Structure formats: structure tokens, C-alpha cells
Amino acid sequence: MSEAELRTAVAGHRWLQSLRLRPDLVTPGLKPEAQLKAEEAALFDTLNLKGAHLLEIGAGNGAFSFAALRRGAARVLATDHLAWTLPGSDALSATQWAAHALGAGIEMSPLDPRELTPRFGSFHVVMATACFDQLFNPIQALRGMRSVTERVLLIETLQDGLADARPLMMGHGQVLPIGGPEGSWVFGWGPNLPLMTQLLTDLGFSRVLYRHHPTLGAARGLYAAFLPEAPDGLLEGFHTPWINVTSPQAA
Amino acid sequence: MAKPAALWYLRAMTLPDARISDAELLTRMQSFHWWHSIALRPGLTTLGGKSMEILAQEEDAFLAPFDLTGRSVVDVGAWNGAFSFAAKRRGAARVLATDSYTWNHPVWRGREAFELARAELGLDIEAKMIDPPDITEKLGLFDVVLFLGVFYHLYDPLDVLARMRRITRQLLLVETHQDLTNDARPGMVFYPSDILNQDATNWWGPNPALMLSLLLQLGFTRVFYRDHPTLGRARGVYAAFTPEVEDSLVRGFDSNWLDLDVPGAIEGLLTP
Ligand SMILES: C[S@@+](CC[C@H](N)C(=O)[O-])C[C@H]1O[C@@H](n2cnc3c(N)ncnc32)[C@H](O)[C@@H]1O
């Protein structure tokens, strides 16, 4: 791949994420590089990923999978559903170009998280960013993710209904640059913190940690949910502003 | 798992002349907890949690707007079968009653109660023990799908609503508990443990904006709405039509119903 070919490929794709492929070449993505970096630090500075097996759901252009590999993960499987499968989508091809340009040996596969079962295998870390935002059925998707998680599930999501103390989620639609040339309208949800805690607890996660989004505040939330099997040491890196929101039910 | 049908019932089915006495029928009626009040014989009505009067108003609200003659109907979550029986009496060619939770429940024993009513009413109705989350297109396609009082009992109602779409040929009727009804934005509230009406089988309260959004996304092209006939906005009734619906099924919906998929309809439901 020549530099000219790479630049042509970057120009020829629609990008969901702004990835720095060369010191002077950043893909023109929907999500800015600074936000991606802030989210990466907020999610991954907490954990030692050396040797870990990580599954990413809704990888988009793979920013977090590339980051996990840089941080020492032994196996990274990047997956996406709509953005990689809608007719006319070029996000998988874009991600393959990015992996090539970065020399990043990640696996890539289209995947609907609703279809995950333990037969798929298991991963120390399962993660999803912009999680509820783009899922018609987050209840089923979370169950799927849980079924392949060995230790910890990391989630970044849109939030809503924050003024209500009751667990709830609000529906949200948005047009994303995926699928046909006009993009696609994608439905998803903004859950509130009580709902996230409840759903994760119901799935058997025994400890749930939370923090606001590093740059966007409470409009988005970050969750780390641990299975009982996760060694206590895994929680050591979760400092302020992470807080323990484990439901009394789970204790 | 289906409980084996009681022997008396099989006999009653195969030998129509083996009619039991009123006293015997009363004894059998009283051995069950009923949800639906159903008149089995003159002077012999089951003592349901829902009264005859409320059921009559519900039947009128849910089933009167369209002509069931010759249609196929599935009643998902039929319990004692009042709406299955009503659909058959209103001329449906084929009626399938399905349920699982109350039919298998050791206290409700809904299947046995349903069988007693079915045999006594002598209505030609099929029954199938199946849990809504297990329903697939294998169940068949039905002109009319009744999904009454079930949505909010499901931990994952999104999955089951999608399943209901796949068995609907023309019209899906959804009746559900609601919440956030004064919010124009789509949303649903989750009820942990038994906080909604001290009933641990209640999970979600959606609002009309959400039901509209979900039904349209599942490929229904028109959605009508009305408040519950006796409980008002606390429960809502949705008539969702597939693109293949025959005009005759749509025409009879009167001014009690609101065309929900037109601009401003959701806002029109809000109280200032
Ligand atoms: C309120 S009753 C409604 C009965 C009838 N359709 C009516 O409208 O009068 C709820 C029905 O949902 C069924 N159901 C299905 N899944 C259920 C679940 N997970 N928990 C409780 N009930 C469930 C019950 O068996 C019961 O028949």
C-alpha cells in the first residue's frame, strides 16, 4: 500500500471515527479524535489489558480495538452490526484500511450482539461504546454480551431520563453515515443510571462502577460491570470519578 | 409443559351427551381462580378478577371496530379465553388461544379453567401452550393478533413485539399498562421486583410515543390508539396495521380512536 493509495482510500470512505493513521493523516470521522482519546483513557486507563482477550461490540472504525491492541491485549475481536452489514455500508472496508495502515492485527467480523451465546467463546473484557444509542433491543444485546464475558463488561452509552429516580430508558433516533448514500436512520435508547444498574445486576454482574463521560458529562455514562469471578485486583485502577453503584440486591 | 387434560374433559369432548349437572359444573368452576368472568350457563358465571361488565366494555372497545367474519385470530396470553371466545362468537373462522404462564401456574391453573370454559361453551377453538418469547413464524400467520395485557409482563417486550409482527398478516391489537404518558418523547419505565401493583410479573410501562415508534419500526404502516375503556390513559390500546391490511378491517375504527401516525397526534394526547 503506497501513501497515495492510503490517502485515496481515506478520501473514498465515510468515517465514523477520526483515527490518526499517520502523524499528518487523520480520518475525517463523525466522532472527533479528542473525544475518542478521552473515552479511551477513561475506559482503559483503569485496566491492565496485557494479555487480555477483548471483544468489541459496535466497533465502528475500530478505534477502541486498535487502542486495546496498543495497550497489550493478546487477542482483539472487533465486531459491528448495522454499520458493517447495511447494504451500501463501507465502514468495514474503512476499518480494514485503517487496520492495514496501522499494522494492527485485530480480527474483524460483522456481528449482531443479540445473537451471542456462550458457544461464541468467552473474553476477559467485552466492551461497547455508543452502546444503547444504536440498539433496537439493548435488553437482548446486553444478555448476549454477558454470555461471552469472563470478567468485565465496559459500556459507554447515551443517557436520558436523569431527572427521574425510577429506572427508565428513552427512545432516540439519529441519522448515521452508514448504509446507503443518504445515511440511515437508526433507533436506540438513552437509559438512566438506575436502569443500567438494574439490568446489569439482573444479568449477574456483582459489582457495577459508574462515571460520567470525560468530556460530555452526565449526558453520557461509562459503566464497568464485574462478574463474581473477576479477581478483586481488577477493580484497583478504578479511581475517582468512578463510583460504586452496585445494587444492594447484588451484594 | 402441558398438563395432561383431565379425563372428564376428554370425555366431555368426545361424548357431547355426557353433560354434567349444574351442581357438578359449579363445583368444577369453584375449584379454579378465574381471571375472566364468563357465563357458562344461565345463572352460572365464573367469578373472575375482571367482572362481566368490564369485560363487556373491553370486548366492545377491542373487537367491535372491525368485522371478524372469516378471519383467523390468535389470542396471545389468552388466560381463561374470554377474548378467544368473543372472537369466535363474532364470526372468526379460526381462533387459536395461546398461553403459558397462567396456564402452568399451580395456583391459577389457567389451562384447566380454559378447558372447562371451552368445553362448556362448545366453541371450536384451538389451544396451544407456548410462552410469548418462544413464538416464531412457525405458529403461522394470522389476520388478527390479540396481544392484550401481556406487553408489560415481559422482561424483554421488544423481542416479543417483534415476534408478534412476524405472525401478523393484517392487524395487531396491543393493550398495555402505560407510564410517562405526559411525555411526547418515547420512553418506558422499568419496575424492579413487585413495585408495580405488588405484582412481580410486571416489568415495563411504555408511553404512546414509544409504542408508535416501535410499531412503525417493526413495519406496521398505520397505528390507531385509544385509551382503555374503563381505566383511561393508564392503559392504552393500539391497532397496528400491516401494509397488506384490507380496507374493511380499518374502516370501522370510530372517533374513540386516534390516528397516531400523523404529525401532532402524540402532542395532542398530552395534558397541559
Ligand atoms: C393480565 S393477563 C391478560 C389476559 C387476557 N389477555 C386479558 O386481556 O384479559 C396477562 C397474561 O399474560 C400472560 N403472560 C405471558 N408471559 C407472562 C409473564 N412473563 N409473566 C406473567 N404473565 C405472562 C399470562 O399468562 C396472562 O395470561
Tracing cell 444498574 back to the chain, one arrives at A197
Indicate which of A136, A159, A170 best probes the interface with B, i.e. most B CBs within 10 Å of its own CB: A170
| pLDDT tens for chain A, residues 1 to 251 | 899 999 999 999 999 999 999 999 999 999 999 999 999 999 999 999 999 999 999 999 999 999 999 999 999 999 999 999 999 999 999 999 999 999 999 999 999 999 999 999 999 999 999 989 999 999 999 999 999 999 999 999 999 999 999 999 999 999 999 999 999 999 999 999 999 999 999 999 999 999 999 999 999 999 999 999 999 999 999 999 999 999 777 65
For CA atoms B194, B196, B198, B201, the dihedral sign is negative
Q: CB A10: neighbour CB atoms within 10 A?
A: 20
Contacts of A169 in chain B (CB under 8 A): 187-188, 190
Q: Using CB atoms, pick whichever of B158, B186, B213 lies closest to residue A137.
A: B158
CB atoms A173 and B180 under 8 Å? no
CA distances from B181 to A135, A193, B169, B233, B237 (A): 23, 21, 29, 7, 13
Q: How far apart are the first and last CA of chain A?
A: 54
Nearest to B124 by CA among B82, B76, B89: B89
**Is there a cis peptide before residue B106, judged by omega within 30 degrees of 0?**
no
Separation of alpha carbons B262 and A126, rounded Å: 41
User: How many residues would you count in chain A?
Assistant: 251
* Cell of residue A221, nine digits: 455514562
Nearest to A43 by CA among A18, A22, A29, A63: A63
β-pairing verdict for A184-191 and A168-176: antiparallel
Query: What is the b/e burial string over A84-94, where b = at least 16 CB atoms within 10 angstroms of the residue's CB?
Result: bebeebbbbeb
Return the pLDDT at B11.
45
CB B40 within 8 Å of CB B46:
yes
Contacts of A168 in chain B (CB under 8 A): 180, 187-190
Separation of alpha carbons A98 and A81, rounded Å: 18
Separation of alpha carbons B272 and B268, rounded Å: 10
So what's the ipTM on this one? 0.95
- Nearest-Cα distance to chain B for A168, in Å, is 4
Contacts of A115 in chain B (CB under 8 A): none
Nearest to B92 by CA among B62, B71, B107: B71
DSSP per position, chain A: --HHHHHHHHHTS-EEE--EEETTEE--EEE-HHHHHHHHHHHHTTS--TT-EEEEES-TT-HHHHHHHHTT-SEEEEEESHHHHSTT--HHHHHHHHHHHHT---EEEE--GGG--GGG--EEEEEESSTGGG-S-HHHHHHHHHHTEEEEEEEEEE---TT-SS-EEEEEEEEES-SSTT-EEEEEEEE-HHHHHHHHHHTT-SEEEEEEETTTEEEEEEEEEE-TTS-GGGGTT--TT-EE---GGG-
Contacts of A139 in chain B (CB under 8 A): 155-156, 158-159
Return the pLDDT at B5.
47
CB B211 within 8 Å of CB B239:
no
A206, burial (CB in 10 Å: exposed 0-12, middle 13-18, buried 19+): middle
Separation of alpha carbons A206 and A232, rounded Å: 12
B206 lines ligand 1 (CB under 6 A): no
Q: Position A192: which residue type?
A: N
Interface membership of B213 toward A (CB under 8 Å): yes
Separation of alpha carbons B98 and B131, rounded Å: 8
Interface membership of B185 toward A (CB under 8 Å): yes
pLDDT along chain B (272 residues), means of 10: 46 56 96 97 96 98 97 98 98 98 95 97 98 98 98 98 98 98 97 91 97 98 98 98 96 95 96 84
B148 lines ligand 1 (CB under 6 A): yes
Nearest to A70 by CA among A20, A18, A117, A35: A20
Cα A203 to ligand 1 centre (Å): 24
pTM score, whole prediction: 0.94
Helix (H, G, I), strand (E, B) or coil at B128: strand
Interface membership of B190 toward A (CB under 8 Å): yes
Backbone angles phi, psi at B86, to 5 degrees: -60, -40
